[in-house]
């Protein structure tokens, strides 16, 4: 137990989860400051790490959910909902008890009392145990993420499992640091005259805001939810998770695990609840504007994110919306290595990552590649050919591309193909084991800087646009305009010129776009690492928060004081 900012009437959990997991918290807390590479939850889906039966157990656990009703054990309405569709074509038929917003919010409020009064370390320990159990269930979570989001298995395991857990742990560590910043009790003395001093005992108490709602997305249901989930829970708030109707299962499993741990620790499991809905009767607008709800976290489309920012006035709102990510190609040493890296970035999960590149700005007169000058068309052709090569083996192609999460993305591909010159058409790729999988190769377009209607908008999914610019200055100008007007979450610059590098990185970072420079190896601009990368800046329309930094946690609770004569 720390002796810092804690609450007086601490409830002692039956198991000391904090002591059990102190080491991992220490690793995480150190990494917040060092910013070195750490991944406390192992990212390799190996039997040697997770246990020899883990893969099979995970698969059968996942299969046990199919064709049945998922029981969360929480207060609910009459009736069931649930119509998740596997992008790989696997019939799911999972039903969930319908959420009753009144009941859920009432139960969440009722559950908060003893949780709020518990010691910071007790709450943190419970969160650490939840993460620990989620980690052990990473295979089960991987299948559930894969068959709702369309991610290939390896990505579903890593991003949906250990990397999501890393992010939850990062937010938890930030919250623990923020809550233990101030001493729980201080003797405060002030000299009031030459001979007299007045002494007071000031106690500091962490007071949570209230009920927190998380509105999750369809593509990274766990990865985008865990930071807010653990930041809220650790700081004493109750959490209601509203999953996307297309990706409920990974969060239902998460909530069930969390509820088990919370109950074992002697608290009311209704501290965390699931509020599933469907397209026919969405509940997000009601949930996020209810007076009981004091915090809202959202990941998803820009339009609904903006609606929440403008309408959930009673709450503190954290959003991660969408954006248009740009690549500036100015000059390269080795076009093959650049093309290989870029092709992977373009193909990974079919451009359905909020970090995927969309626009590639190339001067219309070409670029310097090594000692040669390459024309615009040759640059584009080199990258198209790298995509061809990457996708040449259908099995590997399907693992990299995954499947298309939503039907509307297929229509978007079709429409985009009519808007500009097609360098590489999007084609159907047969999946080796899932014949009904919705797998498409990326659509690669070429246009010019004047055609802002084509590229100055989000083209979510496997759509990439080469844009011929006057020169690199115009490329920088357009990339920063994208950031300012449509929002950007990542930026990539390729240049061998130090001045250009400085200009481009200065311009983009000032618009709140984190920039990668000259990536040619395995690291992709799409990758965001917990404990190292500041994901989304909140400085452009792609969102209003960074996940994760101090600002992400510090506003979820307050320190409130009692002052008594000593």
Of positions 173, 178, 476, 524, contacts its own copies by CB under 8 A: 178
Alpha carbon 504 to its chain's center? 26
Is residue 26 a contact residue for its own copies (CB under 8 A)? no
Residues 6+ apart with CB under 8 A from 415: none
CB 466 → its own copies: shortest distance, Å?
23
Is residue 207 a contact residue for its own copies (CB under 8 A)? yes
Q: Rule CB under 8 A: which of 488-527 touch its own copies?
A: 505, 509-510, 512-523
What does the per-residue mask of binding to its own copies show for 253-292, with x meaning CB under 8 A? ----------------------------------------
Which ranges of 46-152 does DSSP label H, i.e. alpha helix? 47-50, 54-65, 101-117, 120-136, 138-149
Is residue 49 a contact residue for its own copies (CB under 8 A)? no
d(CA 564, CA 201): 5
Is residue 313 a contact residue for its own copies (CB under 8 A)? yes
547: number of Cβ within 10 Å:
26
The CA angle 101-131-255, to the nearest 5 degrees, is: 20
CB 441 → its own copies: shortest distance, Å?
26
CB 298 → its own copies: shortest distance, Å?
15
What does the per-residue mask of binding to its own copies show for 346-385, with x meaning CB under 8 A? ----------------------------------------
Name the one residue in this structure whose structure tokens are 């246990």. 51
Kindly indicate which of the ranges 347-355, 438-446, 449-457, 555-563 contains the residues binding its own copies, using the contact rule CB under 8 A. 555-563
Kindly give the pairing relationship between strand 80-81 and strand 96-97. Answer: antiparallel
What does the per-residue mask of binding to its own copies show for 429-448, with x meaning CB under 8 A? --------------------
Strand spans (E) along 20-93: 80-81
Cβ-count burial 477-514 (b if 16+ within 10 Å, e if not) = bbbbebbbebbbbbbbbbbeeeebbebbbebbeebbbb
CB 178 within 8 A of CB 553: yes
Of positions 375, 419, 457, 532, contacts its own copies by CB under 8 A: 532
What one-character DSSP code corresponds to residue 159? H
Closest CA to 88 of 181, 140, 152, 157: 152
Name the one residue in this structure whose structure tokens are 């790298």. 386
Peptide bond into 338 cis (omega under 30): no
Of positions 106, 133, 136, 205, contacts its own copies by CB under 8 A: 205
Kindly give the pairing relationship between strand 293-299 and strand 326-329. Answer: unpaired
d(CA 515, CA 525): 8
1: number of Cβ within 10 Å:
14
CB 536 → its own copies: shortest distance, Å?
9
Of positions 14, 36, 195, 371, contacts its own copies by CB under 8 A: 36
Is residue 2 a contact residue for its own copies (CB under 8 A)? no
Q: In degrees rounded to 5, what are phi and psi of residue 191?
A: -70, 120
CB 112 → its own copies: shortest distance, Å?
10
Is residue 198 a contact residue for its own copies (CB under 8 A)? yes
For the chain, how far is it from start to end, CA to CA, in angstroms?
24
Q: Rule CB under 8 A: which of 93-132 touch its own copies?
A: 116
d(CA 319, CA 542): 8
CB 552 → its own copies: shortest distance, Å?
9
Of positions 10, 61, 66, 186, contacts its own copies by CB under 8 A: 186
CB 563 within 8 A of CB 182: no
Decide whether 154 or 529 has the Cβ nearer to its own copies: 529
Is residue 484 a contact residue for its own copies (CB under 8 A)? no
Is residue 63 a contact residue for its own copies (CB under 8 A)? no
CB 3 → its own copies: shortest distance, Å?
13
Of positions 189, 365, 388, 407, contacts its own copies by CB under 8 A: 189
Residues that bind its own copies (CB under 8 A): 33-37, 116, 178, 181-183, 186, 188-190, 192, 198, 200, 202, 204-205, 207, 209, 309-310, 313, 505, 509-510, 512-523, 529, 532-534, 537-539, 546, 549-551, 554-555, 558-565
């Amino acid at each position: 137990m720390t002796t810092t900012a804690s609450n007086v009437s601490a409830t002692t959990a039956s198991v000391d989860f904090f002591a059990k997991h102190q080491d991992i918290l220490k690793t995480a807390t150190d990494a917040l400051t060092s910013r070195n590479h750490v991944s406390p939850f192992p990212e390799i889906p190996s039997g040697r790490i997770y246990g020899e039966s883990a893969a099979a157990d995970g698969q059968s656990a996942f299969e046990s959910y199919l064709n049945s009703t998922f029981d969360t054990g929480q207060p609910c309405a009459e009736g069931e909902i649930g119509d998740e569709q596997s992008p790989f074509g696997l019939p799911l038929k999972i039903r969930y008890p319908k959420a009753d917003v009144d009941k859920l919010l009432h139960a969440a409020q009722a559950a908060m009392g003893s949780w709020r009064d518990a010691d910071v370390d007790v709450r943190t320990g419970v969160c650490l145990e939840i993460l620990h159990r989620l980690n052990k269930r990473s295979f089960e979570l991987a299948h559930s993420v894969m068959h709702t989001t369309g991610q290939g298995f390896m990505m579903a395991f890593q991003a949906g499992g250990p990397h999501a857990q890393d992010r939850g742990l990062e937010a938890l560590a930030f919250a623990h640091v923020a809550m233990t910043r101030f001493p729980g009790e201080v003797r405060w003395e002030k000299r009031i005259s030459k001979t007299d001093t007045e002494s007071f005992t000031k106690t500091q108490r962490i007071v949570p805001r209230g009920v927190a709602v998380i509105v999750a997305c369809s593509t990274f249901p766990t990865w985008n939810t865990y930071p807010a989930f653990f930041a809220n829970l650790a700081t004493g708030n109750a959490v209601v998770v509203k999953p996307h109707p297309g990706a409920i299962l990974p969060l239902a499993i998460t909530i069930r695990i969390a509820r088990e741990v919370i109950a074992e620790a002697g608290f009311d499991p209704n501290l965390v609840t699931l509020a599933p809905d469907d397209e026919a009767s969405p509940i997000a607008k009601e949930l996020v504007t209810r007076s009981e709800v004091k915090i809202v976290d959202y990941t998803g489309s820009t339009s609904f994110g903006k609606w929440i920012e403008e309408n959930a006035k009673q709450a503190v709102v954290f959003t991660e919306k969408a954006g248009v990510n740009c690549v500036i190609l100015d000059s390269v040493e080795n076009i093959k290595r650049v093309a290989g890296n870029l092709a992977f970035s373009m193909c990974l999960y079919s451009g359905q990552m909020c970090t995927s590149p969309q626009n590639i700005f190339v001067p219309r007169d070409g670029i310097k590649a090594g000692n040669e000058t390459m024309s615009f068309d040759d640059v584009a052709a080199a990258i198209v050919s790298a995509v061809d090569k990457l996708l040449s083996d259908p099995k590997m192609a399907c693992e990299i591309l995954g499947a298309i999460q939503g039907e509307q993305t297929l229509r978007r591909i079709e429409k985009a193909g009519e808007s500009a010159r097609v360098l590489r058409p999007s084609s159907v790729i047969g999946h080796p084991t899932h014949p009904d999988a919705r797998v498409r190769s990326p659509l690669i377009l070429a246009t010019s800087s004047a055609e802002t209607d084509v590229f100055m908008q989000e083209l979510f999914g496997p759509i990439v646009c080469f844009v011929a610019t006057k020169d690199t200055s115009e490329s920088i100008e357009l990339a920063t305009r994208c950031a300012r007007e449509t929002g950007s979450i990542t930026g990539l610059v390729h240049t061998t010129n130090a001045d250009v590098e400085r200009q481009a990185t200065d311009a983009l970072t000032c618009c709140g776009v984190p920039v990668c420079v000259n990536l040619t190896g395995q690291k992709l601009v799409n990758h965001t690492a917990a404990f190292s990368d500041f994901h989304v800046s909140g400085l452009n329309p792609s969102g209003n928060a960074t996940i994760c930094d101090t600002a992400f946690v510090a506003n979820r609770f307050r320190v409130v004081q009692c002052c008594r004569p000593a």
